């Protein structure tokens, strides 16, 4: 089955800095890569996703890049703000399947 590795497990940055979270996956058949943000005490919510037919996608301060050859994808957050502090999960799912495999999560802390 699919295996998703996520790094780092904890990331601490100063407000205004950029943050990058990286994930690798094992199955080259995976074609859908969502990212979820979970604020303290709340449910995980989708913040951005990418499918394997594109290499990059942006939404304001967040972007996701995908390298199919290397089988890794990354979340980039620019101009971080304290409200970006949360746990971020990456996931990958194989074409035709609807079952995502999650990374273990990254706790992002943005210091004011």
Partner 1 sequence: DVKVTQSSRYLVKRTGEKVFLECVQDMDHENMFWYRQDPGLGLRLIYFSYDVKMKEKGDIPEGYSVSREKKERFSLILESASTNQTSMYLCATSGGNSPLHFGNGTRLTVT
5-23: string of b/e by CB count within 10 Å (b at 16+)? Answer: ebeeeebebeeeeebbbbb
32 binds partner 1 (CB under 8 A): yes
Q: Give min distance, CB of 16 to partner 1, in A.
A: 29
50 binds partner 1 (CB under 8 A): no
| Number of residues in contact with partner 1 under rule CB under 8 A | 24
Give Dmax (Cα) for the chain: 43
Nearer to partner 1, 16 or 95 (CB): 95
Measured CA to CA in angstroms, residue 60 lies from 2, 45, 79, 80 at distances of: 30, 17, 10, 12
> In the set 14, 43, 60, 112, which binds partner 1 (CB under 8 A)?
43
Phi-psi region of 79 (alpha: psi -120 to 50; beta: other; left: phi over 0): left
> In the set 22, 49, 68, 78, which binds partner 1 (CB under 8 A)?
49
Q: Give min distance, CB of 58 to partner 1, in A.
A: 18
95 binds partner 1 (CB under 8 A): yes
Joined tokens for residue 76: 């980039």
Binding site for partner 1 (CB under 8 A): 6, 9, 31-32, 34, 36, 42-46, 49, 89, 93, 95-100, 102-105
């Amino acid at each position: 089955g699919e295996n998703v590795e996520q790094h780092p497990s904890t990331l601490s940055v100063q407000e205004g800095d950029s943050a990058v979270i990286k994930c690798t996956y094992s199955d080259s058949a995976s074609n859908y890569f969502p990212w979820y943000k979970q604020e303290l005490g709340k449910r995980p919510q989708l913040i951005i996703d990418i499918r394997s037919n594109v290499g990059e996608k942006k939404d304001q301060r967040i972007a996701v890049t995908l390298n199919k050859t290397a089988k890794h994808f990354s979340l980039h957050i620019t101009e971080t703000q304290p409200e970006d502090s949360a746990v971020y999960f990456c996931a990958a799912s194989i074409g035709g399947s609807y079952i995502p495999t999650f990374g273990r999560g990254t706790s992002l802390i943005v210091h004011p």
